Structure 1
Amino acid sequence: MAFIHDLQARNASVHTQTNYQRDLQAFLAFYLKHSLSELSDAEFTDWAQIQPNALRRFLSERMAQGIGARTLARQLSAIRAFYDFLLHRGLVTLNPAKGIKAPKQGKPLPKSIDVDWTQTLLDQPLNSWQNVRDQAVFELLYSGGLRVSECVGLDLLPGLAMLNSGWVQVLGKGQKHRLAPVGSKALQALQAWLTVRPTYAKPHETAVFVSARGTRLGVRSVQLSLDKRTVQAGLPTKMSPHRLRHACATHVLESSGDLRAVQEILGHANLSTTQIYTKLDLQHLAQVYDLAHPRAKKTPTQSLDE
C-alpha cells in the first residue's frame, strides 16, 4: 500500500505502520459490509465516495463492541492521515474524517494505597534535617490532599496564617486560593520543620520548604525523597506525591461518604474561589475531616475561631 510506504518515508514507527494498516482494513471491511458492496478490500479504490456518516457509524459500532476510547482515537487518526495522503495525491477532494471528533478518553484515577501502607510510609525514623522537612511535606500532601506544586509553592504568609487553626492557604490551578485542612500529625511535622527551617533557609526566602541551597524546594526533589522513603519503608509499590493526594481523598470518602467535602478538600477545578469562601461551611468540613482522616484527630477545642 502506497500509504504505508509514505509512512515509512516519514520515519513512522513499525508499530504505527502496523496499527494504521490494520485500522484502515477494519474500517474498509465495515464500510463494504454495510454498503452491501460485492467488492473485496483489495478491489475497492473509490475512497472519495465515503462520507462522514460512514465514519460516525463505524465509531459507534466499535464503541458498542466495547472498544476503548484510546483505540478509537487511533483508528480515527489513521483514517484522517490516510485521507490527507489521498488529498496530497489529488485522489480525493475532501477528508471526511476532518470534522469528526474522537471519543473522549477518560482519565484513569491514580492508584491509591491503603491506610496501613500510608501509616508505614509516614512513620519512618527521621535521621536528618532533610528527613524532618520531607516528613512535613509528605504529611501535608496526605493530610490536606495537596498537589505537589501547591505544597512546594506554599509561602510562610499567607500560607501558614491559619496554621494554628488547622488550615493552610494554597494557590491551586487557575491561580485559585483555597484552604486545605491540616491534621494533628501534619501540624506536628510542620512545627518540627519550622523550628529548624531558619538554619537552612536563605534570608528573605518566603518558601515554607527549602532545599540544601536554602531556596524553594522543587517538585523533582519531592519525588526523589519520596522514592527513598518508599524504599526505606519497604513498600512493594511505586509512590508519587499525587498518590498521597489521592489516598487522602479515598480514605476520607471511604470513611465519611461525603463527596462534597472531599471535592472541597481537593479544590477540584469545577469549584470556584467564591464557592470555597462563601458556600462552603468550613466548620462542617473540619468536623468531617476530623472524624474521617486517619491522621487528623484534632482536639475537640480546636476550631476556626482560634
Structure 2
Amino acid sequence: MPTFRDWLQALAAVLVFSTVTSAIDPAAPAELPRIGQERTMNRYLTEEEQTKLLWTLKLHSGDPLAARDYAWVRALRHSGLRIQEFSHISVGDALAALRSGYLFVPREHRKGWNRKPTQDGKLRKPPKDHSVYLTDALRRALQDLLKCRFELTGADCREFDPLVVSRHGTAMSVRSYQLRLSAWAEKAGLPPGVSPHWLRHTRAMAIMQSSTARDPRGVVQKALGHADIRSSGVYTQTPREEVEAALDEIDVGAAGRVTLAALRRAFYGRAAA
C-alpha cells in the first residue's frame, strides 16, 4: 500500500522525469512515474556499492561457495536476468552460450509464462523467447560458474544439470540466492534490502548512464527483454546518487564558495602585510 511519503517522492520526480523523457523523444508525451517506478529508482547499486560488494566477495573467494557466489553475482550484474530466469540455466545452456555468444532464455522460463487472467477476465500475452549477448565480462562469469560447479560436485555433469548448485550438489533455490546476496550485502556494508533483482536494475542503470547509443532506452529494452519500452522508461529518471550529490553541493558548496571579491581582499591583506 503506497504511503504518503511514496506519493510525495513520485510527485517530486515528475518535473525531472518529464524533462528527461522529452529530451529522449520530443514528440512523445511525457509520462508520469508510478509509485512502483519510484521504488525501482532506489533499488539498484551505485558504482561504489558494486565495488564494495564485489570486493567483499573476492576477498572470500578462497571458499568454494563464496567463489560460486562471486561468479553468479557477476553473471546477474552483466546479464540483467531476473533471478527466476537465471535459476533455470543449465550446464548445457552455459556451454551453448559460450559457443554462440548468446545466452538463450526460453519463454517457458520467463516471467508471466504461467498466465493468470486479468481482473476483467482477459488472458495476458505470453512472454517471448529472450537472448542475452555475451560480453567479455558475462563470458568470464559463466566460465567461472562452470569451474565452480566442477569443484563443488567433483563429478561429470550432464547438459541439463543446473549450472549453479548448492553445497549438496542440487540446484540453488531462488530463496537461497536471496539469502546469500543479502548476507554478502550486509557484510559489505550496503543498505538493507538488497536482493538479486537489484542487479537487474543495476544493469539497466549502467546502460542508461554509460551507453553512447543513440537510444539507450531501446538498448535497455532489448537487453532486459522488456515487452513494452515504457517499462524501460523508469531508468530515464535522475539517479539517486546524482540527486544526493546535487543537494550536498547546494548545502555545502554555497557556504564554501570562493568569490573574486574574497580573493581580492585576501590579496590586499597579503600586500599590506
Indicate the TM-score class for this superposition, using the shorter chain for normalisation: 0.5 to 0.7
Question: Which of the numbers 125, 130, 134 marks the counterpart of 1:182?
Answer: 134
Relative distance call for 1:189 and 1:211 in structure 2 (3 A) is same
Please give the residue correspondences for 1:1-306 in structure 2 after superposition, counting only pairs within 5 Å. 106-108=35-37, 109-110=39-40, 111=42, 112-123=44-55, 124-125=58-59, 126-164=61-99, 166-171=101-106, 172-173=110-111, 174=113, 176-201=128-153, 203-204=157-158, 206-256=161-211, 258-270=216-228
Q: Return 5+ residue gaps in structure 1 as ranges.
A: 1-65, 70-104, 272-306
Deviates more, 1:173-182 or 1:222-231: 173-182
Q: Secondary structure at the match of 1:213?
A: coil
Shift in Å at residue 164 of structure 1? 4.8
Q: TM-score, normalised by structure 2?
A: 0.55
Relative distance call for 1:234 and 1:165 in structure 2 (3 A) is farther
Shift in Å at residue 191 of structure 1? 1.4
Q: Report the identity percentage.
A: 31
Shift in Å at residue 249 of structure 1? 0.2
Looking at structure 1, the residues matched to 51 and 9 of structure 2 have their Cα atoms a distance apart, in angstroms, of 36
Q: Secondary structure at the match of 1:251?
A: helix
Higher relative contact order (CA 8 A, sep 6+): 2
Shift in Å at residue 187 of structure 1? 2.5
**Equivalent residue letter for 2:187:** Q
Q: Secondary structure at the match of 2:218?
A: helix
Given that 2:88 and 2:162 are in contact with CA atoms closer than 8 Å, whether structure 1 keeps it comes out as yes
Given that 1:210 and 1:217 are in contact with CA atoms closer than 8 Å, whether structure 2 keeps it comes out as yes
Looking at structure 2, the residues matched to 218 and 261 of structure 1 have their Cα atoms a distance apart, in angstroms, of 30
Shift in Å at residue 165 of structure 1? 5.2
Relative distance call for 1:67 and 1:238 in structure 2 (3 A) is closer
1:1-23 deviation per Cα after TM superposition (whole angstroms, max 9, x unaligned): xxxxxxxxxxxxxxxxxxxxxxx
Given that 1:155 and 1:208 are in contact with CA atoms closer than 8 Å, whether structure 2 keeps it comes out as yes
Q: TM-score, normalised by structure 1?
A: 0.50
Given that 1:207 and 1:216 are in contact with CA atoms closer than 8 Å, whether structure 2 keeps it comes out as yes
Number of residue-to-residue matches in the alignment: 172
Given that 2:105 and 2:131 are in contact with CA atoms closer than 8 Å, whether structure 1 keeps it comes out as yes
